[in-house]
Amino acid sequence: MATDLSIITVVTRSAEVPALSSLLDSIADSDFSGALEVIVVSNGLSSEELKAVAKRHSDRARFLWADRNLGYAGANNWGMLKSGGRLILLLNPDIVVNRDSLSRLVAFVDGRPDVGAATGKLIGPDGQVQVGFNARGLPTFLSAVFDALLLHRAFPWTRLSRHYLGRDIDYERPQRIEQPAGACLLVRRELVEQVGVMDETFFPIWYEDVDWCMRMRSYGWQLWYTPDAVFYHAGGVSTGDWPKGDAALAKYHNFAYLCKKHFGVPLSILIVLSIAVGMLLRSLLVLLGALLRRDMSQDVKNFQRGDTMNAVKGYMRIFWLSVTARL
């Protein structure tokens, strides 16, 4: 029997394992009636807890065991290449599927031949739509500079910021969007065959899905959001125990590569210089916050309350790599 839907999920950290079990249970409890396969990629993780989950769900999911971290792109690519579904759904392990989510999302895409990829409504632990994550605008040169210099946070009401952060989207109606969340992304098999898989240069995580969406659109595929398919997303489980400085470095390194790939060298140089200035600004803000005993964790990305010196050290590391053209 031909497979209608292949679900791919990647597990890299031990903290994701309990969430994975809940995801697999929710998929098993869904009302999806088509031919379904579930592939779990163990991305360099071989803990006893994960092996126990694999044994318990052996009749529901196929496990692929990588002996090293392939990166988010590499692990998902492996899963996609091993899958056989005409539709492929990438899901983060910290997602719980609503009972009718799979059938609704598949029906939505099947009913629109021009739609190459789609996402559903992602609900966070607070019960609200995850605005700013669920769907966003694709980066432009100007939005990249805004992001580097913290201007999206300083001026969130501007048209540029609202579009880039997905704040001008009506999350109660289906619509075309620029960038669906990679945490829940349904794609057609023929799109993958035409556009190719994700770029594994983005390592270990961040911006591989953004690049993929940009490539999809360049081939003329439409990307959509539908509120009818609801998914519950915890968020932050994959990177929660990652040292903030290392996470920030990986994020901005991948961001610089994305800009060079899509905007060209001259504009990417300006963006990297903006990142350098932004790192100085972040350092000053967290130091000022420490001096005034103010919590700056909501104002500055990749900063954890009470971790001022480590944050500054991480920011200055990125600053140095930026000004020496090694980011």
Q: What is the pLDDT of residue 7?
A: 98
Q: What is the pLDDT of residue 25?
A: 97
**Dist. CA 95–CA 183, nearest whole Å:** 8
- Which positions of the chain have pLDDT values less than 70? 1, 240, 296-299, 301-306
Q: Which of 198, 223, 219, 213 has the alpha carbon at shortest distance from 79?
A: 198
Q: What is the pLDDT of residue 299?
A: 61
Q: What is the pLDDT of residue 246?
A: 87
Q: What is the pLDDT of residue 292?
A: 82
Q: What is the pLDDT of residue 132?
A: 92
Q: What is the pLDDT of residue 237?
A: 77
Q: What is the pLDDT of residue 91?
A: 98
| Bridge partner residues of 232 (DSSP) | 96, 123
**Dist. CA 118–CA 132, nearest whole Å:** 16
pLDDT digits (tens, 9 = 90+) for 215-256: 999 999 999 999 999 999 998 777 767 788 888 899 999 999
CA separation (Å) from 148 to 67, 100, 198, 217, 326? 35, 39, 24, 24, 17
Class of the CATH-defined domain 5-134+171-233: alpha beta
**Dist. CA 263–CA 327, nearest whole Å:** 16
Provide the residue ranges of all domains of the chain, joining segments of one domain with +. 5-134+171-233, 244-323
Phi-psi region of 303 (alpha: psi -120 to 50; beta: other; left: phi over 0): beta
Regarding pTM above 0.75, the answer is: yes
